[in-house]
Structure 1
Amino acid sequence: MNSSVIIQFENVTKQYDQDRPVLDNVSFEIERGKFYTLLGPSGCGKTTILRLIAGFTEASSGDIYFNGKRINTLPANKRQVNTVFQDYALFPHLSVYENVAFGLRIKKMKEADIKVKVKEALQFVNLVGYENREITEMSGGQRQRVAIARAIVNEPEVILLDEPLSALDLKLRTEMQYELRELQRRLGITFIFVTHDQEEALAMSDEIFVINEGKIQQSGSPTDIYDEPINRFVADFIGESNIVKGTMVRDYLVEFTGKQFECVDQGLNPNEPVEIVIRPEDLEITSLEKGKLQVQVDSQLFRGVHYELSCYDNAGNEWLVHSTKKAAVGDQIGLYFEPEAIHVMRLGETEEEFDRRLEAYKDGEGE
């Protein structure tokens, strides 16, 4: 195993009774010192992965390794991980200091050492001076930082975060995203963060695992996953997308909406059926004559930093457009896009096949 890998899943399945597996033959690696996000809809299996790492549940089959050692049956209290729960699981009858010190007292650490460690942990989360404050007197963001301090005071190698921002209002949630990311950088330890919020995942992560129905659909950096989604689920779940059916005529030429367009994709079969993704921000409003697509504006909303237009072409395809330009409902407009804005998705392609095709792009070779 690579020395930078701290957690490894090999063909892990989790199934309850005869129900469909919650996790289905999942394999992946987590490297130390990075911020990972498990992203997917409710019930996709992301929290189950967290529980398997923490030791709160056991795999039905497959192997889980921590620093190269198999930990399938290792008790939760023996693992070098700490969890920050969605509701923080703080003790309301204890002060901030006592909440953070709780785990150290369980370990029967000397009081002088506890005092030093609690102070260091509170410094990390900017809560020095709050030691004697009651938990019920803390704001949502402060409670979250107390929960993180309680997690890091035990000096774990991995911190697991189970949707810890979901109860916060939008402004505070955004602030805490920055704080969490900066905290992870300062600590230099591995964070594994669970969320169903795509924007949150894109903003915070070094690497994202997109999960659906117990399988990892795609993994990679936020930029890779946003720019190169592997299938319709990922394209639709990560941000907003325009997805239409098309045909890969040949390398660098694709057909959709009855027209042929230059693109940057290669390595597919001639005349292979494909799906086309174009992000709303990559569509530029222009005149009918200059547009590569001609559409009619069906609705328009002002989103603060841009207008969001819903348009339809003559074939009935809906096109979502994000633009600083406005248009009136009923207008006939043109939409222009660069070849780089077209992303071609092969039907039924696995992540391994997709990765090989991307490597072929970089090497200047087709398959």
Structure 2
Amino acid sequence: MTESIICFNKVTKQFDDDEPVLKNVSFEIEKGKFYTLLGPSGCGKTTILRLIAGFLEATEGDIYLDGKKINSVPANKRPVNTVFQDYALFPHLNVFENVAFGLRIKKLNQKAIDEKVKEALRFVNLSGYEKREISEMSGGQRQRVAIARAIVNEPEVILLDEPLSALDLKLRTEMQYELRDLQKRLGITFIFVTHDQEEALAMSDEIFVLNKGEIQQSGSPIDIYDEPINRFVADFIGESNIVSGKMIQDFEVEFVNRRFECVDQGFNENEIVEVVIRPEDLEITTADKGKLQVEVDWVLFRGVHYEMGCIDIDGNEWLVHTTKKAKIGDKIGLAFDAEAIHVMRLGETEEEFDKRLESYEEA
């Protein structure tokens, strides 16, 4: 059984008389995994990071690290290190001295400092850069220096506050792979904050999706993407077609005035629901062979696929990702499997949702 390293127990954070930034949040973080806190600006993800780091105190609730309550433990006494969005490097110090800064505060001898800095720079592929000035480093190299400074102190947890946001797209993608590989090699718990869903899906062992100070859903990237709990998660993680529907009975759902076979169960008969179909799960075919008949409204070429907006006879819009090309004005069919349909219960809690998914597995 994997050991928990961080635990939030009904944590609320409120500033003055404003609306709480976090509302009664509870979760556990296991050792040695890569976690991502994902959500829009203002959802509370950076607040969670600052509470773990000790830069903020909880208004209500308790925070535990290695089973010990740390609510009143100061930041410099916590075995965590933070990599900030702007890296917070010292411009007047070279690479070696930036990485060694925390070790000098601890008053380690020079030999130990030399060995630890050398090892940290090797881990981030910056061996030989010890004397380089920070102003001479690229954005990606500066990020590596910031990470080396974080890992050199051998923390139990590394907190990363949107550290890739300032990089260009290609470098950002490269650094995603590097960060994930580094976490695996170090075996340290990483907690990563981002609003970029593609970044979260690519890097994480587990994702916490936040909105308005509450965790909407947690799980593996595949679980979050394939089985979103509600409209917010379905819409925020990737792209989705979401329509209102009715669960006629187990394995049968009605939407756009037609009934379709699905794989969902555990709903009440004729329960009002929402239905999600991902754009890549819709296949273009002839109008007579499609489960839906639509007209192509617009087409964009995305390099590896075409993105098309289509409209059915009831005026519903359908987003389609396909390698097949169609022209604006074409009347086509959209085919999809029963497994492509995901039914969401209105107002379902994550605990209720998890129990329903477990019943699928048992069945």
TM-score in terms of structure 1 length = 0.98
What is residue 173 of structure 1 aligned with on the other side? Answer: 172
Deviation at 1:243, TM superposition (A): 0.1
Return the letter of the residue paired with 1:275: E
What is residue 90 of structure 1 aligned with on the other side? Answer: 89
What is residue 4 of structure 1 aligned with on the other side? Answer: 3
Alignment of 1:35 with 2:34, yes or no, is: yes
1:62 and 1:23 map into 2 onto residues whose CA distance is 11
What is residue 80 of structure 2 aligned with on the other side? Answer: 81
Kept after mapping to 1: 8 A contact 2:2/2:31 = no
What is residue 276 of structure 2 aligned with on the other side? Answer: 277
Return the letter of the residue paired with 2:126: L
1:3 and 1:233 map into 2 onto residues whose CA distance is 30
1:340-359 aligned at under 5 Å gives the runs 340-359=339-358
Secondary structure (helix, strand or coil) at the match of 1:82 reads strand
Deviation at 1:3, TM superposition (A): 6.3
What is residue 292 of structure 2 aligned with on the other side? Answer: 293
1:116-135 aligned at under 5 Å gives the runs 116-135=115-134
Kept after mapping to 1: 8 A contact 2:37/2:193 = yes
What is residue 266 of structure 2 aligned with on the other side? Answer: 267
Count of paired positions? 363
1:168-247 aligned at under 5 Å gives the runs 168-247=167-246
Return the letter of the residue paired with 2:257: G
Kept after mapping to 1: 8 A contact 2:282/2:335 = yes
Q: For each residue in 1:221-260, what CA deviation from the matched residue of structure 2 results, as whole angstroms up to 9, or x when unmatched?
A: 0000000000000000000000000000000000000000
Alignment of 1:14 with 2:13, yes or no, is: yes
1:131 and 1:89 map into 2 onto residues whose CA distance is 18
What is residue 362 of structure 1 aligned with on the other side? Answer: 361
Percent identical pairs in the alignment equals 79
1:82 and 1:124 map into 2 onto residues whose CA distance is 16
1:132-143 aligned at under 5 Å gives the runs 132-143=131-142
Secondary structure (helix, strand or coil) at the match of 1:103 reads helix
1:17 and 1:353 map into 2 onto residues whose CA distance is 34
Alignment of 1:335 with 2:338, yes or no, is: no
What is residue 314 of structure 1 aligned with on the other side? Answer: 313
Deviation at 1:294, TM superposition (A): 0.3
What is residue 147 of structure 2 aligned with on the other side? Answer: 148
Superposed CA RMSD:
0.6
1:300 and 1:209 map into 2 onto residues whose CA distance is 33
2:30 and 2:339 map into 1 onto residues whose CA distance is 31
Q: For each residue in 1:76-122, what CA deviation from the matched residue of structure 2 results, as whole angstroms up to 9, or x when unmatched?
A: 00000000000000000100000000000011111110000000000
Return the letter of the residue paired with 1:12: V
Return the letter of the residue paired with 2:73: L
2:337 and 2:111 map into 1 onto residues whose CA distance is 64
2:362 and 2:172 map into 1 onto residues whose CA distance is 42
Secondary structure (helix, strand or coil) at the match of 2:143 reads helix
1:245 and 1:296 map into 2 onto residues whose CA distance is 20
Return the letter of the residue paired with 2:284: I
Kept after mapping to 1: 8 A contact 2:11/2:60 = yes
Secondary structure (helix, strand or coil) at the match of 2:242 reads strand
Secondary structure (helix, strand or coil) at the match of 1:73 reads coil
1:227 and 1:28 map into 2 onto residues whose CA distance is 22
What is residue 161 of structure 1 aligned with on the other side? Answer: 160
Return the letter of the residue paired with 1:264: V
Secondary structure (helix, strand or coil) at the match of 1:247 reads strand
2:2 and 2:206 map into 1 onto residues whose CA distance is 18
Runs of 4+ in structure 1 off by over 6 angstroms are none
Secondary structure (helix, strand or coil) at the match of 1:359 reads helix
Return the letter of the residue paired with 1:247: K
Mean Cα displacement is larger for which, 354-363 or 172-181?
354-363
Secondary structure (helix, strand or coil) at the match of 1:26 reads strand
Deviation at 1:18, TM superposition (A): 1.1
What is residue 58 of structure 1 aligned with on the other side? Answer: 57
Instruction: Mark the CA change 1:67 to 1:195 in structure 2 (over 3 Å): closer, same or farther.
Output: same
1:156 and 1:303 map into 2 onto residues whose CA distance is 42
What is residue 254 of structure 1 aligned with on the other side? Answer: 253
TM-score in terms of structure 2 length = 1.00
1:260 and 1:224 map into 2 onto residues whose CA distance is 26
Q: For each residue in 1:133-152, what CA deviation from the matched residue of structure 2 results, as whole angstroms up to 9, or x when unmatched?
A: 00000000000000000000
Structure 1 unaligned runs (5+)? none
Return the letter of the residue paired with 1:150: R
Deviation at 1:4, TM superposition (A): 0.5
Instruction: Mark the CA change 1:59 to 1:66 in structure 2 (over 3 Å): closer, same or farther.
Output: same
1:22 and 1:158 map into 2 onto residues whose CA distance is 23
